[in-house]
């Protein structure tokens, strides 16, 4: 019995849903509305003391941290395998998943709030905005959120964030020169870890970064992974179309400013 606490378009939630879908695992869904602040609900915080999604419950055991959840799923439900059999490929897979956790995910919120969510948040009163920022438990994340809501892509937080995403795409382009997937010739947790961040760029109208002319191998990888049934089950099915459309419009508005930074 699996239960997933997740959010419709959160990157970390997509990451776990992709692996659940690849393994054809059913789960009871509990949606946590991050925009409404449900991640701070005391009952939810008892499950996930970091005030974040996702949280997976398997037979009563509470599991947090999306990368570790995906490794757990691979151990608990080994078929079909999404971890390479070769040790060197497995190491490469973990280099990607670690990079996502350490160097990409911390910047995803900056990009999302600076580009996609900011115009929505600015419709609230200053008191409402401050109250939602004050609930973020980590001081650095709190300050970054305040800065991007005030200054958007002109925030000093923004340039390093987009640079981390561009470096990721550049390194993917190099890796895909020698293998069809990121960590060898079979799809793995590396691809499912990176995919949500590529989708996020797409949903923020940063798609020139993913174009055939800019990065042909990344463009081909994105097309191939997008055709897998798990993409429809784990990503498209949950994505709220009006919100994605709003993010895309907001991204198109600032693309010229972003392009100057990269």
Ligand X SMILES: N[C@@H](CCC(=O)N[C@@H](CS)C(=O)NCC(=O)O)C(=O)O
Kindly list the residues in this chain that would bind ligand X in the complex (CB under 6 A): 10-12, 34, 39, 52-54, 65-67, 101, 105, 109, 136
The smaller minimum CB distance to ligand X, of residues 84 and 109, is found at: 109
Shortest CB 163 distance to ligand X, Å: 20
Angstrom distance (rounded) from CA 217 to CA 48: 37
Phi-psi domain of 155 (left: phi exceeds 0; alpha: psi -120 through 50; beta: other): beta
Shortest CB 12 distance to ligand X, Å: 4
Angstrom distance (rounded) from CA 198 to CA 204: 10
User: Minimal CB distance to ligand X: which residue?
Assistant: 52
The smaller minimum CB distance to ligand X, of residues 58 and 105, is found at: 105
The smaller minimum CB distance to ligand X, of residues 100 and 218, is found at: 100
The CA-CA-CA angle for residues 77, 83, 89, to 5°, reads 165
Shortest CB 179 distance to ligand X, Å: 25
The smaller minimum CB distance to ligand X, of residues 67 and 188, is found at: 67
Angstrom distance (rounded) from CA 165 to CA 149: 20
Shortest CB 22 distance to ligand X, Å: 18
The structure tokens listed for 203 are 């949903």
Which residues, including other chains, have CB under 8 Å from residue 121's CB and lie 6 or more apart? 113, 129, 132, 149
């Amino acid at each position: 019995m699996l239960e997933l606490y997740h959010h419709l378009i959160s990157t970390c939630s997509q990451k776990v849903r992709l692996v659940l879908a690849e393994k054809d695992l059913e789960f009871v869904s509990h949606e946590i509305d991050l925009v409404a602040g449900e991640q701070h609900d005391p009952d939810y915080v008892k499950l996930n003391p970091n005030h974040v999604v996702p949280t997976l419950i398997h037979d009563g055991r509470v599991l947090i941290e999306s990368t570790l959840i995906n490794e757990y799923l691979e151990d608990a439900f080994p078929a079909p395998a999404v971890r390479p059999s070769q040790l060197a490929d497995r190491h490469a897979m973990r280099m990607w998943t670690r990079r996502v956790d350490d160097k990409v995910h911390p910047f995803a919120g900056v990009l999302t709030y600076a580009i996609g969510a900011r115009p929505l948040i600015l419709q609230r009163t200053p008191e409402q905005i401050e109250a939602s920022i004050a609930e973020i438990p980590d001081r650095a994340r709190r300050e970054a959120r305040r800065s991007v809501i005030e200054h958007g892509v002109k925030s000093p937080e923004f340039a390093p964030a987009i640079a981390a995403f561009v470096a990721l795409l550049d390194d993917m382009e190099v890796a895909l020169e020698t293998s069809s997937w990121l960590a060898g010739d079979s799809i793995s947790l590396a691809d499912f870890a990176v995919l949500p961040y590529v989708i996020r760029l797409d949903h923020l109208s940063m798609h020139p970064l993913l174009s055939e002319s800019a990065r042909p191998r990344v463009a081909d990888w994105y097309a191939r992974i997008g055709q897998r049934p798990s993409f429809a089950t784990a990503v498209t099915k949950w994505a709220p179309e009006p919100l994605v459309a709003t993010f895309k419009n907001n991204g198109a508005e600032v693309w010229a400013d972003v392009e100057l930074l990269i």
